[in-house]
Structure 1
Amino acid sequence: MEEPRIVPIPPSSGMRLLAVHAHPDDESSKGAAMMAAYSAAGAQVIVATCTGGELGDILNAAVGELAHAHRDLAGVRRGEMAEAADILGVEHRWLGFVDSGLPEGDPLPALDPLCFALQPLESATAPLVKLIREFRPQVLISYDENGGYPHPDHIMSHKITVEAYKAAADPARYPELGEPWSVSKLYYDRAFNPERFRTLHYGMVESGIESPYAERVAEWEAKPDAEFFGWVSPHETTTQVACFEYFEHRDRALLAHRTQIDPTGFFFAVPSDVYARYWPWEDYSLIDSKVPTSLPEDDLFAGLR
């Protein structure tokens, strides 16, 4: 096997990155190692969380009977988020919206009219425009059109990020929210990059380890024109940030979200040595750039240094 191309993150003082996520814990399962790596390199990194995660399920059986979590899940999740941000070395802001929940059933139940996913786009975008104008990031990251996966809050996070990317630079829009700021680069996270999962699958097989992705990879290879997950937008991976040294930070941040993350579950199925050998990056799609850059990239701030 060809050795992975490892390009270290350069010193990043003066660089500013803003990542927009739907719920507390999303920042730890999508891009956490990248953010920890840039923070350690001197960049200023802020995570903006759109909702409080009030309607999340308690997914870790070990805390399933924790009285505090059942009485005040939103409060518990705020504490978990603070712990995860500290582990990653990032700053954190709440945008203040109410969790929409993930509707299930046939027919699907109606969403609460007050939830994030049903807010008018203009008003839902305003807190993010204000944050962008205050923080002045060069790089903005969120999900693709399907939300990374099709949760109403993830899709809405995508919508307000794209809208804020345009609106924050326009002096005619939201004039009461500060001086205009033009973000230089917009990326979509590719945590669900199908090639990553297929490569890790074969890496585990080659290492003699049972792969949790075997069935899905077999289905995809039997129908190569089908999407690996069925809902991943087919954006090209343009940018791979080598950040394996910070996967341990990612795992600890995930575990900080103890009501949401099963410590024996999916996120911890791949051994660290398999990651190191086969996929030591986190993956992104460059959607728009106002500075010259060449693809593929190994640095989210390429063209800005």
Structure 2
Amino acid sequence: MALRLIAVHAHPDDESSKGAATYAHYLDQGAEVLIVSCTGGERGDVLNELVARDPKSRRDLAGLRRSEMDHAREIIGFQHRWLGYEDSGLPPEGVAVPQGSFADVPAEVSAEALVRLVREFRPHVMITYNEQGGYPHPDHIRCHEISKIAWDLSGDAESYPDAGEPWAIKKLYYESIFNTERMTRVYEVLREREPESPLIAQFEEMEQRFRRRPSDVTARVEVGRFFDQRDAALRAHASQIPPDSFFFFWPNDLQREAWPYEDYRLAASRVATSEFEADLFQGIDEETA
């Protein structure tokens, strides 16, 4: 029986910026990977000037982002499902999210659709965002909330009884890919290798910002050989990823030398595990899972 991983994201493109190399790694290992996009990204800004000139980006942004997601899926090879909720946008502080959008629908209601997918796919590992949503976007926070409900209740036969046969996920992780240790190490290697690089000033600003964040990493998966594939998936989301995006500031050969990992925090587990892990499936017996 193949091991199975489900990753729950707020918008199309989040899966490529937050874990794509991990998904490619586990697919290469023979695991099954399902990506869930909670919303269609309908209220996202078009961040790529070239794409903004395309009339489709103004006429049918939802359709454009679906096409981009399909392209990213082909590049990495994961399975994909839309949860079907409407993007909440990022309203100014004090302004309510649009009525009926993902963040407006009660979490316990939205969670049923995710519980249904969990019970259908039967994953051993779930990846999602931390309690702050990774960053405080209302859809990212709601994504965390419904993922936690699915973790808690998908194995409970009395919860969401019409959503399929119960299935208890073994392990829950929060992605922590942009963390202090990674940023500092890449910055140090860049200074050692290319002391005159114009990138140093840009990195210095980012490194200082990330240094204020305490590291919470408990799992580090070596995935450096999939960084080019990850970047291709990111570029597939062209409306969100301009050619000069900060995601591409650091050359992949430098990243592979400095930090060939994607990092996670183990949030909960129903199997025995260790204090620090190199494999998200650690503790899960493939034969009996």
TM class, shorter-length: over 0.9
Q: Does 1:274 find its partner at 2:254?
A: yes
Deviation at 1:197, TM superposition (A): 1.1
Deviations along 1:256-289, whole A, 9 cap, x unmatched? Answer: 0011101211000001111111100000001111
Q: Write the distance in 1 (CA, Å) between the matches of 2:209 and 2:169.
A: 40
- The aligned counterpart of 1:249 is 229
Q: Which amino acid in structure 2 is aligned with residue 18 of structure 1?
A: I
Per the normalisation by structure 1, the TM-score is: 0.89
Deviations along 1:74-115, whole A, 9 cap, x unmatched? Answer: 0000010011011111000000000000113xx543211211
Q: Does 1:86 find its partner at 2:74?
A: yes
Query: Which deviates more, 237-246 or 190-199?
Result: 190-199
Aligned partner (choices 269, 272, 277) of residue 297 of structure 1: 277
Per the normalisation by structure 2, the TM-score is: 0.94
Q: Does 1:215 find its partner at 2:195?
A: no
- The aligned counterpart of 1:197 is 183
Deviations along 1:199-218, whole A, 9 cap, x unmatched? Answer: 11111111113232202434
> Where do 1:61-72 residues align within 5 Å?
61-72=49-60
Deviations along 1:42-82, whole A, 9 cap, x unmatched? Answer: 11000000000000111011211101111000000001001
Q: Write the distance in 2 (CA, Å) between the matches of 1:132 and 1:235.
A: 29
What runs of 5+ residues in structure 2 fail to find an aligned partner?
none
- The aligned counterpart of 1:183 is 169
Query: Which deviates more, 289-298 or 133-142?
Result: 289-298
For 2:103, what is the secondary structure of its paired residue? helix
Q: Does 1:14 find its partner at 2:18?
A: no
Equivalent residues, number: 281
Q: Write the distance in 2 (CA, Å) between the matches of 1:109 and 1:61.
A: 28
> Where do 1:93-132 residues align within 5 Å?
93-104=81-92, 108-132=94-118
Q: Write the distance in 1 (CA, Å) between the matches of 2:43 and 2:130.
A: 23
- The aligned counterpart of 1:7 is none
Q: Write the distance in 2 (CA, Å) between the matches of 1:50 and 1:151.
A: 13
For 1:296, what is the secondary structure of its paired residue? coil
Q: Which amino acid in structure 1 is aligned with residue 122 of structure 2?
A: R
For 1:240, what is the secondary structure of its paired residue? strand
- Contact kept, 8 Å, 2:179 with 2:215, in 1: the verdict is no
Counterparts in 2 of 1:217 and 1:51: CA distance versus 1, 3 Å = same
Q: Write the distance in 1 (CA, Å) between the matches of 2:209 and 2:77.
A: 39
Deviation at 1:220, TM superposition (A): 6.4
For 2:80, what is the secondary structure of its paired residue? strand
Q: Write the distance in 1 (CA, Å) between the matches of 2:209 and 2:4.
A: 41
Q: Does 1:149 find its partner at 2:135?
A: yes
- Contact kept, 8 Å, 1:235 with 1:285, in 2: the verdict is no
Identity of aligned residues (%): 47
- Contact kept, 8 Å, 2:176 with 2:264, in 1: the verdict is yes
- Contact kept, 8 Å, 1:20 with 1:47, in 2: the verdict is yes
Q: Which amino acid in structure 2 is aligned with residue 78 of structure 1?
A: R
Q: Write the distance in 2 (CA, Å) between the matches of 1:239 and 1:219.
A: 22
Deviations along 1:172-192, whole A, 9 cap, x unmatched? Answer: 100111111000000000022
Q: Write the distance in 2 (CA, Å) between the matches of 1:220 and 1:42.
A: 34
Deviation at 1:219, TM superposition (A): 5.8
For 2:162, what is the secondary structure of its paired residue? helix
- The aligned counterpart of 2:266 is 286
Deviations along 1:128-155, whole A, 9 cap, x unmatched? Answer: 0000000000000100011011110000
- Contact kept, 8 Å, 2:176 with 2:216, in 1: the verdict is no
Q: Does 1:139 find its partner at 2:129?
A: no
Q: Write the distance in 1 (CA, Å) between the matches of 2:228 and 2:52.
A: 25
For 1:287, what is the secondary structure of its paired residue? strand
Deviation at 1:235, TM superposition (A): 6.2
Deviations along 1:228-251, whole A, 9 cap, x unmatched? Answer: 4xxxxx562111010111111110
What runs of 5+ residues in structure 1 fail to find an aligned partner?
1-12, 222-226, 229-233
- The aligned counterpart of 1:41 is 29
